[in-house]
Homo-oligomer: A and B are copies of this chain.
Amino acid sequence: MTEVRGPVTMNDVARVAGVSNATVSRVVNGHYGVSARTVEKVRAAIDQLGYESSLVATSLRRSRTKVLGLVTHSFESYTVEVLKGVMEALSGTGLDLIVYANSDTYGARSAGWEQRHVTRLAGTLTDGCIIVTPWSDVKSNAPVVAIDPVRDSMLPSVTADNLAGAVTAVDHLLELGHKRIGFIAGRSSLAAAWAREEGYRQALTRAGISIDPSLIGRGDFHRETAIAPARALLGSQDRPTAIFAASDGMALMVLEVAREFGLDVPGDLSIIGFDNVPESALSKPALTTIDQSMHRLGFEAARLLQGLVYGNSGGTRQVLVPTQLIVRESTAPPPK
């Protein structure tokens, strides 16, 4: 048992086995041109020293590392769903995943974090990256897939079918008999926000209802940003009988504002959200919403990235994941 200082390197193995480091490399990678007896010696030395090849050195020298990266600016509750989906797609492929998070931007909103991390990783360590809910566009020479990209991004991306989902949400309200339907929009720089608003407009227009700008409030997807527009909407003399919020977080805030105004949900006001976060099932009344499977988003993103990196890159570059209406307790026909 030799006591080693520092990590065991390939040279250590080579010295113990009495061969050159090139031979060790060949054995480790199962390359052709090593006699059975030498393989045996090297294997023994590897076992004796407990050698594992350095991921860093390997990826510096090699072009392909068999490792994919995922960059996120914080760990939200949906992040683990995305991760599960990614891992499921990667399972059995021999590909590993590295998740990179940077503590400086944690909580704070420092633009450009994705760019910094992607270039630091994609240059060498990883063969490609998935970016979860980016805040700005990213340039990279290695393949990058975005989940919920910014508007007009040229990146290959995976998103829920936000437009269809929003149409479904508004159709649900229309079918219940609502005519005056308010909308609280999300962060306008994101493609998802744009698509959800567009769905709202299309559904109304198709139903022969003209768009009333005073019924549209603006948030940025975060809960708190819905408070002011919700108050404006519910405080007006001709208030809507239903509100469609572009995220569950904002919808839950509308619920609170409704309580503040003494309105019964869904008696006086119907509320529908988007995302189907876990909390939406627990609110009172439970929130009707549009489900987008983050698990599925992660799965598809990983598949797409794999194709871009290892496979025939000539394929679809934009994947749309279907959404689903989840009817709970917060929607009902309008008051007479």
Binding site for B on A (CB under 8 A): 4-8, 50, 52-57, 59-60, 74-77, 79-80, 83-84, 87-88, 90-104, 106-107, 115-116, 119-125, 139, 141-142, 278
Contacts and interface: CB of A to CB of B under 8 A. Distances in A.
A298 to B, nearest CB: 10
A334 to B, nearest CB: 31
8 contacts: A7-B124, A50-B139, A55-B124, A79-B80, A88-B106, A95-B103, A96-B100, A125-B125
Given A87-B101, A88-B106, 18 more contacts: A7-B122, A7-B123, A8-B119, A50-B119, A50-B139, A52-B123, A54-B123, A55-B121, A55-B123, A75-B80, A79-B80, A87-B106, A91-B103, A96-B101, A97-B101, A98-B99, A99-B101, A125-B125
Contacts of A54: 60, 120, 123-124
Contact of A119 (B7, B79, B102, B121): B7
B87 A94 contact: no
Contacts of A80: 75-77, 79-80
A69 B92 CA distance: 23
A60 B53 CA distance: 13
Contacts of A104: 91-92, 94
A141 B5 contact: yes
Nearest to A75: B83
User: In the assembly, how many copies of this chain are there?
Assistant: 2
The 6 A-B residue pairs with the shortest CB-CB distance, nearest first, are A7-B123, A99-B99, A90-B103, A80-B80, A52-B119, A56-B124
A122 B94 CA distance: 21
A262 B104 CA distance: 55
A107 B91 contact: yes
A300 to B, nearest CB: 16
A147 to B, nearest CB: 15
Contact of A92 (B93, B103, B120, B278): B103
Nearest to A281: B282
B7 A55 contact: no
B87 A124 contact: no
Contact of A60 (B60, B115, B139): B60
A94 B103 CA distance: 6
A56 B123 contact: yes
A106 B91 CA distance: 6
A98 B96 contact: no
A7 B93 CA distance: 26
A56 B84 CA distance: 26
Contacts of A90: 103, 106
Contacts of A122: 7
Contact of A52 (B91, B96, B120): B120
A5 B141 CA distance: 8
A245 to B, nearest CB: 23
A54 to B, nearest CB: 5
A59 B119 CA distance: 15
A106 B52 CA distance: 20
A113 B139 CA distance: 34
A56 B52 contact: no
Contacts of A76: 80
